[in-house]
Amino acid sequence: MIFVCGIIGVLSAIAIPRLLMATQIAGSASAIGSMRAINSSELTYALTCGNGFYAPKLTTLGVAPPSSIEAFITPALATGDTVLHSGYLVQLSAAPYAGAPQTCNGLAVGEAGRAFKASADPTTPGNVRYFATNAGGVIYEDVASMFPTIPEVGDPPSGHPLR
């Protein structure tokens, strides 16, 4: 009986770290997917509803235009302005532009942005894969949060593009 418990203990010691690593890899893949979804949603929003301007918040992308029942982004990413999704904190912002017109889904004059930035920061201790994107459509990765420093257009001061 002690022998069986010992074998179970050894197998657990080997399996648990790999299970945690697999969970982090899956969360990272989901975060990259979230950044792609935001890029796609923002482009669709700008072309069809924002009159060339971008949504300033995730919740704005979650409001369907009057001619559709589908929002610009999945409901899982539109529950708040900052969303916890698959072990990552996902956020989006766009600096309001005074010359932006009213949008088709209710955003008032001057609230939409000329560009945007978004990030996915891990909430799991030990996970050091941070992701960000902006109106350029490129997804970047770094070992620290890029949201405070990534511009709405152009390359961030740190990090590298995902290929």
Provide the token pair at 131: 């992701």
pLDDT digits (tens, 9 = 90+) for 15-67: 667 767 677 777 888 999 999 999 999 999 999 999 999 999 999 999 999 98
CA–CA distance, 48 with 71 (Å, rounded to integer) = 12
pTM (predicted TM-score): 0.88
Label the pairing between strands 117-122 and 130-134: antiparallel
Kindly report the CA angle at 144 between 139 and 148, in degrees rounded to 5? 75
pLDDT digits (tens, 9 = 90+) for 70-121: 999 999 999 999 999 999 999 999 999 999 999 999 999 999 999 999 999 9
In the numeric block, the tokens 């609230």 are attached to 111
| Cα-based angle 93, 98, 101 (whole degrees, multiple of 5) | 90
Tell me the CB-side half-sphere exposure of residue 59, using CA atoms within 13 A.
6
Neighbours of 105 (CB within 10 A): 20
Q: Is residue 90 a contact partner of residue 76, using CB atoms and an 8 Å limit?
A: no
In this predicted model, what pLDDT tens digit does every residue of 60-83 receive, in sequence order? Answer: 999 999 989 999 999 999 999 999
